[in-house]
Amino acid sequence: MTNPSPLPSVKQFILDHFLEGEDPSRLTATTPLMTGGIIDSLGLLEVVSFLEKEFHLEFEAHEVAPANFDTLAGIETLVKRKQSQRGSAS
């Protein structure tokens, strides 16, 4: 069974918590979140916490890096990889 794309819920979380009042269409899969100043280090904690709770995952410290979290696309790739690893392990 394939997992649904995490993109919609992650996008909504970021819109609700960091871009309130902004035009949702301006947040794309490649909008720079961290390097673009939308999410700072504390905001990153909130995103990680949301993802862990929403998708029942646990991220290692080295995974929480701009390479994975700077865009919605990067977050989606990471979440799908973790879900796939969990599926293989079970």
Partner 1 sequence: MEFDWTADQIAFREAVIGFAHKSLRDDVIARDAAGEFNRELWRRCAEFGIQGLPFPEAYGGGGNDPFTAVLALEALGSVCRDNGLLFALAAQMWSVQMPIHRFGSEDQKRRYLTRLCSGEWIGAHGMSEPEAGSDAFSLQTRAERRGDEYVLNGTKTFVSDASVADVFVVFATIDRSLGPLGITGFIVERDSPGLQVSGAIHKMGMRTSPMAELALEDCRVPVANRLGREGRGAQVFNDSMEWERGCILASAVGAMERQLADSITYARQRQQFGAPISQFQAVQHRLVDMKVRLEAARLLLYRAAWSKQHDRDPGPAAAIAKLAISEAWVQSGLHAVQVRGGYGYAVEYEAERDFRDAVGSLLYSGTSDMQRNLIARSLGL
Helix pair angle (72-89, 7-18), 10° resolution: 130
Binding of partner 1 by 57 (CB under 8 A): no
Q: State yes or no: residue 64 binds partner 1 (CB under 8 A).
A: yes
Task: Find where tokens 């939308």 sit.
Answer: 38
12: tokens are 């909504």
- Roughly what angle, to the nearest 10 degrees, separates helices 41-55 and 7-18? 140
Closer to partner 1 by CB, 5 or 56: give it.
56
Q: Between 2 and 60, whose beta carbon lies closer to partner 1?
A: 60
Residues that bind partner 1 (CB under 8 A): 18-22, 41-42, 44-45, 48-49, 58, 61, 64
